[in-house]
Amino acid sequence: MTKNYLLTASKLCFLLAFMFIFCNPSFGQREVMVTPGFGTLNTAIFGDTLSTGERTDTNTVYVLERDGLYLLDGTIENRFPLSIVAEDGNGARPILQPGVATGGSSSRALTPRAHITLRGLYVTNLDELGGLNTRIMRARGDDMRIIIDDCHFDKDGQSGIRVDNPGMKIYITNSIFSNIGLMSSPNNGRGIDDRGNPIDSLVVENSLIYNLTSRFLRDDGGLLNYAKVNNNTFYNLGQGSIHFGETVFALCQNNLFVNTSFLGNATEESPGGMRFDSLSQANIDAGLEQCVIISHNNFYNDPALANAYPDTVRSFRLFNVPAQNFMEVSGYANTNTFEWLTFDSIPGSPTNVVTSYYATLTDPDPNPDNMDDGNGGPNAAGGQMQFPFNFDYMGPAGVVEGSNIGGAMGDGNSTAVIDTSRAPRVVTVAPGFGSLNTAIFGDTLANGERVDTNTVYVLERDGLYLLDGTIENRFPLAIVAEEGDGARPILQPGVATGGSSSRALTPRAHITLRGLYVTNLDELGGLNTRIMRARGDDMRIIIDDCHFDKDGQSGIRVDNPGMKIYITNSIFSNIGLMSSPNNGRGIDDRGNPIDSIVVENSTIYNLTSRFIRDDGGLTNYARVVHNTFYNLGQGSIHFGEIAELICVNNLFSNTSFLGKNFDEVVGGMRMDSLSQANQDLGFIQRVNISFNNFHLDTAIVSAYPDSVQEFALFDTTTAGFINNQGYGPTNQGRLVSFTTPPSIPTNVVTTYYATITDPDPNPDNMDDGNGGPGMNQMQLPFDFSYEADAIVSEGSTKGIAMGSMQWVGEVAVGIFDPVFAEEIQLSNYPNPFRDQTTISYELANTSEVELAIFDLSGRMINKIVDQKQPAGSHEVLWNAGELRPGIYLYRIQVNGRIFSKKLILMGR
């Protein structure tokens, strides 16, 4: 992909959000309230014309009543920008339904010929008498913009959106497309049908698509410039998942594809459920380069579907050859999973649809079963629900934590839950000295086992929990604040009579903290080091809505390899002392390799060194998005060797404020190139540092002595990535005026350099605003809301403010808490293998065990184990026999709970 295109794609995201803002009634639009009824919406829109023939006001939004039925007296065919939205408040989505005039017939719902915005609506092509029209929206204008947000497009005979003209920009967010097509002619059941027209951009995000007889996108030859398909759930699609056609840039991430391509393949050639076409030579000659990312998705088909096929039919391949090649070459293939899920209340698995479809395939008038619509529909008076299903799901951690931000795959409107047979045990802990230690470590049976590892400890709001020694767990541990208002519960090192205090936390197993204020400043004012010292291999650390405050060395010290660290909606502050500024780090990995770091929607201020200090270990994945960094002394972030980094939408203010008094320019943000050894292992370095704002107050630079100069923003390696990808202009250097921030540390700079050669230096420390753990102190005495020009306040990739969204009234993320999962230890060796491999697993208790091999379509190949087995370690040798080389799954079911992993069979 060319540098110019990357920049264009980023601008597209900005323009999308810009259009969302200015299609909102709160931005000076004229509002027209429309009452429900037959033709009332047609009359309101098309009667809104002056005697001259001009529109009364093209900047108009038509507002529909909740629970209202709007029967359409003919299609809505606008030749002017049109916005139709639901009124604010509760109640069902307003229904737009084709009406039938006396003695007449109905028309499709929408035929836009100019920009159209729909928000909060239920739109159907099933008319009031039960007739089914085709193409809910038939878009017929060049270069149109279609915005569909929080809508439900339901029931149509051909497609949700038919594209008749070139240059469309289609944005579908937080919406549902369902029940499109009939099994008597399944080719016609498409979400979007572009009819070969080139599409400028297609964004489908956080949406649910179910019961389509064909596939969501059917491309018929036109070039697609930009596509983003992210965090969606696709369920019961008959003939495939998505056909992208020729696409310049496509991002397909974090989606669930369940029972897609369920009709199977009755021909010799299997094109693949997800298809991409390579660029034509003409487009290559025009300078286009193709970039496709298919990562962090879950694909699963019910094995019963394949069992229902007649002998002449086999399962679709998941991908066509170009799509498969893109995944393999990019190194993203292993991020996609193939796990079984349990949804809450969903359409039935379409095994009967498969059976009846093939049974009637040769009939002149076929009448196979259609998919289960749950009796949903537009007739509220007849007892129908617009949306009769619930796609909340339970699944293994690989899916519930498996997106590229460490959260759940699929539609974010559904709540993903890690598969567990029961709810967690809740223990409420009263404030006091040692009460939390006692609750956690007294929760043990006489035989030394935990009472229940599936326990969450709940602390009172406004409570002070003085710790009688460090919390050192060797079992999964979850500590959360109670629901409701009030200050975060305080975890503070206590001092026993005549003794001393210890750091707050020393976890040696998975730990989840939510809603807590944790400090290393003990009750007598002594400052400990390392608020959390993590000392277990492959641990998972989840910190959400917490405040880590006051420490002499680091917020999190990593002592072991393989950590997964997720920090969201949180604050790290006042770490380090200016008498030894090297030690003030947010996360210090001490050279240990890290599996993943996610830092999102958080605020980091007053660190004497830098937020991440990497000392040599490889970081596999890092995501640093929508954070505010303020007053960091020696840099911003040092990643070291990293395979994949996304660092976007952040504010960096007064980072590297101490400057440098040496000749080497290391850069405030640093990373190391991959070593040859890691390249030989197949690692590819991918870096995206864009849409950030970096600003250092000029008063700080003026305070430097002559021997000191300003840090470079980036080291050479980092700058190289930014410049080579064309992201340089997206990173800004604008002044940001925060509401109540800590003081600009000019005095800190001055006194630091004045005392730097003293044997006992005593420079000023940074302004903590008198915040702290004392009950008469504020936990957070600052306000990081800000004023800045539009390049910063609207300049992120989402068209909203850079920095932590906590300061503009929004919470951008929420990492799911997976601490309660009782994961099966499952592995095989060797992998890849040529003939046979040994599968190993451990059972905590005597259990009913089923172990089987599946292909990627979900068809069972071989059942290896089906019996009750005792607790302990087990090994099974499996011989692949005459199977073709490729990727297979081995799946273990233990007492009804399912886990699976991939096997790679190599050619013999």
Predicted confidence band of residue 818 (pLDDT cuts 50, 70, 90): very low
In whole angstroms, give the CA distance from residue 38 to residue 85: 18
Question: In the prediction, which pLDDT does 101 show?
Answer: 83
Q: Which amino acid is at 254?
A: N
Average predicted confidence (pLDDT) for the chain = 88
Residue-wise pLDDT tens digits, 364-408: 889 999 999 999 999 988 888 999 999 988 877 788 888 887 789
**Which of the 8 DSSP states describes residue 334?**
G
> Helix-strand-coil percent breakdown of the chain, rounded to 5?
15, 35, 50
Residue-wise pLDDT tens digits, 76-92: 999 999 999 999 988 89
**Is the pLDDT at 109 greater than 90, yes or no?**
yes
More confident residue, 515 or 219: 515
DSSP 3-state of 435: helix
Question: In the prediction, which pLDDT does 620 show?
Answer: 84
Residue 18: its H or E element: helix 3-22
Residue-wise pLDDT tens digits, 698-722: 999 999 999 899 989 999 999 999 9
Instruction: Give the number of other CB atoms < 10 A from CB of residue 477.
Output: 22
What tokens does 563 get?
A: 């950590």
Question: In the prediction, which pLDDT does 888 show?
Answer: 82
Predicted confidence band of residue 17 (pLDDT cuts 50, 70, 90): very low
Lowest-pLDDT choice from 9-23, 122-136, 521-535: 9-23
**Is the pLDDT at 120 greater than 50, yes or no?**
yes
What tokens does 753 get?
A: 């350099």
In whole angstroms, give the CA distance from residue 90 to residue 79: 32
Residue-wise pLDDT tens digits, 90-99: 889 999 999 9
Question: In the prediction, which pLDDT does 2 show?
Answer: 30
Pairing of strands 342-345, 390-395: antiparallel
Question: In the prediction, which pLDDT does 662 show?
Answer: 52
In whole angstroms, give the CA distance from residue 818 to residue 123: 37
CA distances from 26 to 20, 60, 112, 252, 340 (A): 11, 11, 24, 33, 44
Residue-wise pLDDT tens digits, 274-309: 999 999 999 998 888 899 999 999 999 998 898 999
**Is the pLDDT at 43 greater than 90, yes or no?**
yes
What's the chain's Rg over C-alpha atoms? 29
More confident residue, 654 or 872: 654
Question: In the prediction, which pLDDT does 661 show?
Answer: 67
Asked if 867 and 852 count as a contact pair (C-beta separation under 8 A), the reply is no
Asked if 264 and 244 count as a contact pair (C-beta separation under 8 A), the reply is no
CA distances from 726 to 3, 592, 690, 731, 796 (A): 5, 32, 9, 10, 16
Question: In the prediction, which pLDDT does 5 show?
Answer: 30
Of 519, 448, 451, whose CA–CA distance to 780 is shortest? Answer: 519
Q: What is the dihedral of CA 105, 106, 112, 118, to 10 degrees?
A: 170
**Which of the 8 DSSP states describes residue 9?**
H
Of 526, 484, 477, 545, whose CA–CA distance to 506 is shortest? Answer: 477
Give backbone dihedrals phi and psi of 374, rounded to 5 degrees, phi first. 65, 15
Half-sphere exposure of 586 (CA within 13 A, CB side): 30
**Overall average pLDDT of the 311-319 stretch:** 89
**Which of the 8 DSSP states describes residue 729?**
G
Question: In the prediction, which pLDDT does 464 show?
Answer: 96
Q: What is the dihedral of CA 107, 108, 114, 119, to 10 degrees?
A: 130
Residue 250, C-beta contacts closer than 8 angstroms, at least 6 positions apart: 224, 226, 227, 228, 229, 244, 276, 291, 292, 293, 294
Buried b or exposed e, range 589-607, using 16+ CB within 10 angstroms = beebbbbbbbbbbbbbbbb
- Distance in angstroms between the alpha carbons of the first and the last residue of the chain: 36
Predicted confidence band of residue 858 (pLDDT cuts 50, 70, 90): low
**Overall average pLDDT of the 185-193 stretch:** 95
In whole angstroms, give the CA distance from residue 669 to residue 588: 15
Sign of the C-alpha dihedral computed for residues 448, 451, 454 and 457 taken in this order: negative
What tokens does 505 get?
A: 């936390």
Give backbone dihedrals phi and psi of 15, rounded to 5 degrees, phi first. -65, -35
Residue-wise pLDDT tens digits, 747-779: 999 999 999 889 889 999 999 999 999 878 999
**Is the pLDDT at 324 greater than 50, yes or no?**
yes
CA distances from 721 to 1, 290, 549, 563, 644 (A): 14, 19, 34, 26, 12
**Is the pLDDT at 39 greater than 90, yes or no?**
yes
Of 616, 720, 735, 636, whose CA–CA distance to 678 is shortest? Answer: 616
Residue 524: its H or E element: none
Question: In the prediction, which pLDDT does 749 show?
Answer: 96
In whole angstroms, give the CA distance from residue 262 to residue 284: 35
**Overall average pLDDT of the 880-905 stretch:** 79
Q: Which amino acid is at 700?
A: I
Residue-wise pLDDT tens digits, 220-266: 788 999 999 999 999 999 999 999 989 999 999 999 999 999 999 87
The full length of the chain comes to: 908
Question: In the prediction, which pLDDT does 898 show?
Answer: 66
Of 611, 595, 589, whose CA–CA distance to 563 is shortest? Answer: 595
Residue 760, C-beta contacts closer than 8 angstroms, at least 6 positions apart: none
Q: Give Cα 537 distance to the centre of its chain.
A: 25
Half-sphere exposure of 426 (CA within 13 A, CB side): 8
More confident residue, 717 or 810: 717
